[in-house]
Amino acid sequence: MSKSRIAAVDVGNDSLKAIFGKLDYELNIPNVIARDIEDRPVIGIEELNQKNPLEGIHIKVHSPALNDNNVIYRVGDLATKSDNATELDPGSSKSEEDQTLVMLFASLALDAVREENALVFTRNQNVIDANYILGTGLPLREVKEGKDAGYKAQLLGSVHQVEFLVTPKYQGLKVNIKFSDVKIYPEGFAAFINLVMDNDLNIINKELIDKRILIQDIGGLSTDIAVIKNRNVDDDKAQGFNLGVSEALEQIREEIRMKYGVELDSRSDVVDIITKKHDRNHIMVKGSRTSVHDITDRILFDLAKKQYRLLRNVWQKNSQTEICYFVGGGAIVLKEYLKTLNNRLDGYNIDFFEDEKESIWMMANAYYKLISDYARRTLKENKSVEKKAIESK
């Protein structure tokens, strides 16, 4: 019988981040998909298996949870090269989009087919039966609307199949995905867990435990502001907003295209231009290094003003707040603009994570901590029940 493997998956609006098993595998895939044909043309097909599978994810997805079933997709890096690539749109609900599920199933299948998991999951010729205990999350707004229950039911109630088509190393393999359990966490709560606890849920930041904290998580399509009081998220005061960085990134991408004729494949490319260590806010135009500061500064400063307005409104309603942490990929993009605004205006006690990876991976890390603890407790409870049953005979 197939064992259950832990999976913590953050389907972020910019990219998917996933952690598996006992921290033995990580995935980071651009959240981009594109519909495709079964026999996609490949130059040098005989060298296909020498390439990295993550650069050529080409799959067919079957799941009753999908609105459009049995569709073939390019996923991640491969999708960014397509003319019909799609990214999540502002205003959409993550729990109701096929794209969220396609990305989730693709990441699990990519973990399941690895040789290292040959003894974890059963394999019958080219079909792998994979079972997962999943920890994932949704924006606070969607959880407060009760959409987490329907999302969980879709995942738990069915077998979801991913068939690898023209994918390096995995061509012809099929993965049947089942969930033995699914936990869906509000993203603001997850951020707090990651701030104060280690992988065993031991407290590591004692100075934060009893503070009144705001956590402003800026994502691609939404912003969650969690209000932490008495070691818990105040569900009534926590708020979710349909304001992220994706629209601004699209605007930057479009203005660069219009002004310089340079086509950027995805929002991830825009983020790279804005955040890279060297030559930040520069692109190559016909082989010449060219500044796009005027475009990025104007658009991102306008967005930072809107984000700052959200902070000010929530802080005014929670006047005894001691500090606000900005987290998420959007916080990295807007960090310098938010600091500038805060110095000019209210001077709130705000902080950012200098370690960019820690900020970007915060949700996935939190889901991993929470689902690992849940799996440990469940295993312990099951063993206790079994022991009592044996003793009663």
Closest to 367 (Cα-Cα) out of 191, 203, 209, 136: 136
- Long-range contact list for 227-236, CB < 8 A, 24+ apart? 227/314, 227/318, 227/321, 228/192, 233/186, 233/188, 233/189, 233/192, 235/144
The backbone region for 286, taken as left when phi is positive above 0, alpha when psi lies in -120 to 50, beta otherwise, is: left
Distance CA 393, CA 390 (A): 5
According to CATH, the topology of domain 4-185 is: Nucleotidyltransferase; domain 5 (3.30.420)
* pTM for this model (two decimals): 0.84
Residue 136 above 90 pLDDT? yes
Residue 132 above 80 pLDDT? yes
Contacts of 214 (CB under 8 A, 6+ apart): 225, 226, 227, 228, 311, 314, 315, 318, 321, 323, 324, 325
Same fold, 4-185 and 210-360: yes
Superfamily of domain 210-360: ATPase, nucleotide binding domain (3.30.420.40)
Say what the pLDDT of residue 296 is: 94
Domain range summary for the chain, segments of one domain joined by +? 4-185, 210-360
Say what the pLDDT of residue 1 is: 42
With cut-offs at 50, 70 and 90, classify the pLDDT of residue 389: low
Over residues 61-80, the pLDDT tens digits come to 999 999 999 999 999 999 98
Q: What are phi and psi of 291, to 5 degrees?
A: -80, 135
Residue 44 above 70 pLDDT? no
